[in-house]
Chain A
Amino acid sequence: MSQDTLFDKVWELHKVASLPGGSDQIFIGLHLIHEVTSPQAFGALKDKNLKVKFPNRTVATVDHIVPTDNQSRPFKDNLAEQMIDTLEKNCLEHKIKFFNIGSGKQGIVHVVAPELGLTQPGMTIACGDSHTSTHGAFGAIAFGIGTSQVRDILASQTIAMNKLKVRQIWCENQLSNGIYAKDLVLHIINYLGVKAGVGYAYEFAGPAISALSMEERMTICNMSIEGGARCGYINPDEITFNYIKDRLCSPQNENWDKAIKWWESLQSNENSIYDDVVKIDASKVEPTVTWGITPGQSIGINQKIPSLREIHANDQFIAGEAYEYMGFKPGQPIKDTPIDVCFIGSCTNGRISDLRVAAKVLGEHKIAKNVKAFVVPGSEKVAKEAKDEGLDKIFLNAGFQWRDPGCSMCLAMNSDKLVGNQVSASSSNRNFKGRQGSPSGRTLLMSPAMVAAAAINGKVSDVRDFLKNE
């Protein structure tokens, strides 16, 4: 059993009680809600005649269903309008802070909370969304929950949960030029498999992790859940503190020094004991692309799609399904696979640094004919920063569409969808069957830089070819 890791310390600090069945009652410091997984929870409160216990510990925004082409109200889609309307009413009735469209603070919940300084080390953070693991990048214990648990947090600010085991993923050496956090996390998920994290929290550590910016760390922790770990985290350090400083909700003045002192005390250290430790050599990571229907089915840009013989017996069934669904053959290279749609955005890679990297690759290039490409900034703040830097012009000039913030084609709950069996190069997090809105649509996950390269060439390309003259 793990001891003295950041996870253990934060868990113990938030433990309210041991419940009769043996699970722990855990206090949730920050509860984030959005329009898709909260209405039924508010409905349940109403049915039971309950109030929200601590309304100021819950923060709301709207992201999953918002259109990205025209956000004026009412939305064209009646169901989407009904959902945002329900969220507005629930927040008003229960006095919950809501960052609505046009507030300058709306966006994907996992982009918004960090940029407002809401996300801080040592907190427990929960949201009815599996990518809540993103917030672990700050040394918070953050995880996705279902609607019944949203109800429980609204009613009691706590949930019943069994403590997770802790696996440290030690990333040695450094990523090479043209290799990004997305490549590293896809590599890790491929190496460990999509279910290795079940029952675990992942602690990402080592020189390759310490060197990452906060936004890159968020990309890593965001995809913990794709490796089966509902929680992933990174110990907070100077990079974390510098990111949080002077944000809207961060500790101010004399509280700032107290906060840093406390945050530093939470770090895992040489006395920490883990349930498991895995080592990864970051210098071996290549630009990585998925070829299948799980985020674990990925290869380096110069590798070939593996044959059944090269795949572990336990993964052969899903590999067979992947060949058939994707229309790819074992032994086929992934490089030069034709692309129909390019999507840059999502809670994984829709932040300002992602847009900067993609814009740099684009430069003066134009995207290939027949490719539809669009950028969906992760938040209104990201959109504004990008415009201030002129990034929108670079994307538009290249032939990308510039959209308004939201989850968009990551899960295709709005009108941004693949059509038929189109192939998308996507900076998002899931390549599941039908994930991007068409029951036969095909998704290749990659870094935003790789998406930009694919857009220029109209096919899967090695982004390093665009960075050679640096």
Chain B
Amino acid sequence: MNSKFIPPAGQISEINGKCISLVGDDIDTDRIIPARFLKCVNFDSLGKSVFDDDRKALQGNHPFDMVSNKDASILIVNSNFGCGSSREHAPQALMRWGIQAIIGESFADIFYSNCIAIGIPCFTLSKKSINIIQKFIEKNKNLFFNIDLVESYASSTNLNFKLEIKETSRKMFLSGEWDTTSKLMDNSYLIEKKLNNLPYIKFNSNF
């Protein structure tokens, strides 16, 4: 786990880091961060609790506890990662543990948008390619990827992959507009116009 957490900001065009592999389909956000850790009014202390139940069950043998994965920042996962609850606490916990990008077979919708909203690019690759990466990590322990968002490309001395990412997300990272609030507020005039033109605003006097 990284000792000092600095949230991402501005344009994100490149991520360099060590890969950590987590094998399994349909890993839900309750597993990423069990509900008891949601009793908080900020996200600050979530990093240490990521995968708490799974890690306790594996008694030190969970990927997030292995010494070889120390300081890893690129998470390799399988299919439907992040399904279930919409809790942003899940990507926040991963980010505070040290994860800066995720490459997987597929992601659940809400988890994916939460990742984008906090500055974690999520890329997809075929099942076959993910298996190649996961087997490589299992055997060699160390895999360092340079991820280039301009080319959507992950490269290393051993393995190279053309990554898939939603074009809207890729553009947002390159422009720095993934931090959406101010961009949305720029359209203040259009928002007010929209409010006044919605039929139900007119016929609902009670709220």
Interface set of A (CB-CB < 8 Å, partner B): 13-14, 16-17, 19-23, 25, 27, 29, 36-37, 39-40, 43-44, 48, 50, 53-54, 56, 59, 64-65, 77, 79-80, 82-83, 86, 97, 117-118, 120, 122-123, 128-130, 132, 143-149, 151-152, 155-162, 194-195, 198-199, 225-226, 228-230, 248-252, 255-256, 258-259, 262, 294, 314-315, 317-318, 321, 411-413, 430, 432-435, 437, 439-440
B115 shortest CB reach to chain A, Å: 9
A19, A54, A225, A317: which contacts B195 (Cβ < 8 A)?
A54
Query: Chain B residues with Cβ under 8 A from A19's Cβ?
Result: 168, 177, 183
**B168:A412 contact, CB within 8 angstroms:** no
8 A Cβ contacts from B106-120 to A: 106-110, 113-114, 117-118
A194, A435, A437: which contacts B80 (Cβ < 8 A)?
A194
**A411:B41 contact, CB within 8 angstroms:** no
**B108:A434 contact, CB within 8 angstroms:** no
State A82–B85 Cα separation when bound (angstroms): 22
Query: Chain B residues with Cβ under 8 A from A259's Cβ?
Result: 199-200, 203
**A161:B207 contact, CB within 8 angstroms:** no
Q: Does B42 contact A (CB under 8 A)?
A: yes
State A318–B79 Cα separation when bound (angstroms): 10
In the A-B complex, list the 6 residue pairs whose CB atoms are closest, starting with the nearest: A146-B88, A146-B114, A148-B117, A255-B203, A144-B86, A39-B41
**B106:A198 contact, CB within 8 angstroms:** yes
**A118:B207 contact, CB within 8 angstroms:** yes
**A40:B42 contact, CB within 8 angstroms:** yes
B34, B85, B169, B202: which contacts A130 (Cβ < 8 A)?
B85
**B109:A159 contact, CB within 8 angstroms:** no
Query: Chain A residues with Cβ under 8 A from B202's Cβ?
Result: 255
B39 (CB) vs chain A CBs: closest residue = A79
State A294–B31 Cα separation when bound (angstroms): 12
**B25:A317 contact, CB within 8 angstroms:** yes
**A144:B203 contact, CB within 8 angstroms:** no
A25, A194, A255, A412: which contacts B184 (Cβ < 8 A)?
A25
* Given A146-B87, A156-B184, A433-B53, A198-B200 contact (CB < 8 Å): no
Query: Chain A residues with Cβ under 8 A from B79's Cβ?
Result: 195, 314
Q: Does B67 contact A (CB under 8 A)?
A: no
B38, B56, B80, B183: which contacts A36 (Cβ < 8 A)?
B38
A17, A21, A156, A440: which contacts B177 (Cβ < 8 A)?
A21
**B110:A144 contact, CB within 8 angstroms:** yes
Q: Does B84 contact A (CB under 8 A)?
A: yes
23 A-B pairs in the complex with CB atoms less than 8 angstroms apart: A16-B191, A20-B175, A21-B168, A21-B177, A22-B171, A37-B88, A120-B200, A123-B200, A128-B88, A130-B86, A145-B86, A155-B181, A160-B180, A161-B113, A194-B26, A198-B107, A248-B206, A255-B203, A255-B205, A258-B199, A294-B26, A317-B78, A434-B34
Query: Chain B residues with Cβ under 8 A from A43's Cβ?
Result: 41-42
State A384–B108 Cα separation when bound (angstroms): 38
B15 shortest CB reach to chain A, Å: 19
State A155–B86 Cα separation when bound (angstroms): 20
Query: Chain B residues with Cβ under 8 A from A433's Cβ?
Result: 28, 30-31, 53-54
* Given A155-B181, A314-B25, A434-B42 contact (CB < 8 Å): no
State A440–B104 Cα separation when bound (angstroms): 27
Query: Chain B residues with Cβ under 8 A from A199's Cβ?
Result: 109
B122 shortest CB reach to chain A, Å: 12
**A155:B41 contact, CB within 8 angstroms:** no
Query: Chain B residues with Cβ under 8 A from A258's Cβ?
Result: 199, 203
State A152–B91 Cα separation when bound (angstroms): 18
Query: Chain B residues with Cβ under 8 A from A53's Cβ?
Result: 191
**B203:A411 contact, CB within 8 angstroms:** no
State A418–B82 Cα separation when bound (angstroms): 23
8 A Cβ contacts from B72-103 to A: 78-80, 83-89, 91
B131 shortest CB reach to chain A, Å: 11
Q: Does B57 contact A (CB under 8 A)?
A: yes
Q: Does B35 contact A (CB under 8 A)?
A: yes
Query: Chain B residues with Cβ under 8 A from A86's Cβ?
Result: 41
A109 shortest CB reach to chain B, Å: 12
